[in-house]
Amino acid sequence: MNPSQLKPYIIIIIEETHPFNFRSFVNLLNQLNLSFVIAPHPESAIFHAEYTNPDIILIPFDPHQGNPQETNQKLKQAKITQNVPVLWMNNYSELKTQTSQAFATTLEALNPFVNPNPSVNTLPTDMIIKTLQKQVQVQQELLIKLQAENQQLKRLASLDDLTQLANRREFYNYLQEHWLSCQEDYLSMILCDVDFFKLYNDTYGHLAGDYCLQQIANAIETAVQRVREPEPYLVARYGGEEFAVILPHLDLENARKVAEEIQLQIRSLKIPHRSSPLRSHITSSLGVSCSIPGKQSYLQELISAADQAMYQAKSQGRDQVRVAKKIL
């Protein structure tokens, strides 16, 4: 994500009695391109934090009237704000920081400007701006890192560990999404089963079986991509030695051609299978179905029709493609 698209969010706690140049402070925040909300007390800040997930809390502080210890304690006791860095400002031109050991990264960014004694450290306005800019930069870098990590976690949660194809959960998510987007248009599905795979495992061992499934997964992906690119599709490991392909906006006849390409690609691997009653190499059985999503059709019927067609291919000798009798 472009860092310029990230807009750090600030909660500012300003007591009603605080003699503060609000207009000047708002101008400063606008210079830094910050989003913010004003809270009249810590409890209000905690309430806003529930909905805004702030990057920092700023508190203009009057040392003659306020109670920073009490305010800081309330913020650190609340789960939603306990890990949010707090910056204290005195009359717009004075700054000090209060933060816990857990925020060493944030404190390091402010160290050149932080006085270790509890008295207020007076700073020129341009130094405050530079300090806040450094704070914003640190927060932006942390946000970008967290977003990248979240994207990676989401990606891993949607993949099958062995084949790196979409897993069954992602299969259903994708199918439901395109069931809605393909209203009054075609939505096709292919189910593919590896023939006599249990015999293969018994003969060659499970490590060889895993490698076999990885090769087949790559073959299916290659076959579909060759026919379908750049149109949308999804290849998933449906379970065990079964694979599924979802083909939005593709009719039954063209889905059959995709299935036949998959079958040819798997055959071309020529993975030896001396225990197969059918061939001396790995083969597959495929079933194809198609639906036009709408009021008269149901998502589960599409899966069931592909499953029945695949079962027909297996019961009629395997190593073939069978198509559902009609479009649902």
Q: What is the Cα–Cα distance from 166 to 309, expressed in whole angstroms?
A: 22
Residue 97 CB neighbour total at 10 angstroms: 20
Please indicate whether residue 241 is annotated as part of the active site: yes
Rounded distance, CA 142 to CA 125, Å? Answer: 26
Q: What is the Cα–Cα distance from 182 to 328, expressed in whole angstroms?
A: 13
Rg (CA), the chain: 31
Angle at 299 between CA 296 and CA 300, to 5 degrees: 110
Q: Give the span between the Cα atoms of 103 and 43, in whole angstroms.
A: 22
Burial zone of 70 (CB within 10 Å; 0-12 exposed, 13-18 middle, 19+ buried): exposed
**Alpha-carbon span 312 to 287, nearest angstrom:** 8
Distance, in Å, from the CA atom of 88 to the CA atom of 99, rounded to the nearest integer, reads 10
DSSP line for 255-304: HHHHHHHHHHHHHHH--B-TT-SS-SB--EEEEEEEE--STT--HHHHHH
CA-CA distance, 183 to 172, in Å (whole number)?
17
Catalytic residue selected from 43, 149, 221, 241:
241
How many residues are listed for the chain in this entry?
328
Q: How far apart are CA 85 and CA 51, in angstroms?
A: 17
C-alpha torsion angle, residues 156, 162, 165, 167 (rounded to 10): -70
The CA distance from 176 to 185, in Å, is 14
Structure tokens at 144: 């970008």
Going through 268-318 in order, the beta strands assigned E by DSSP cover 284-291
Residue 4 DSSP one-character state: G
Active site residue ranges: 241
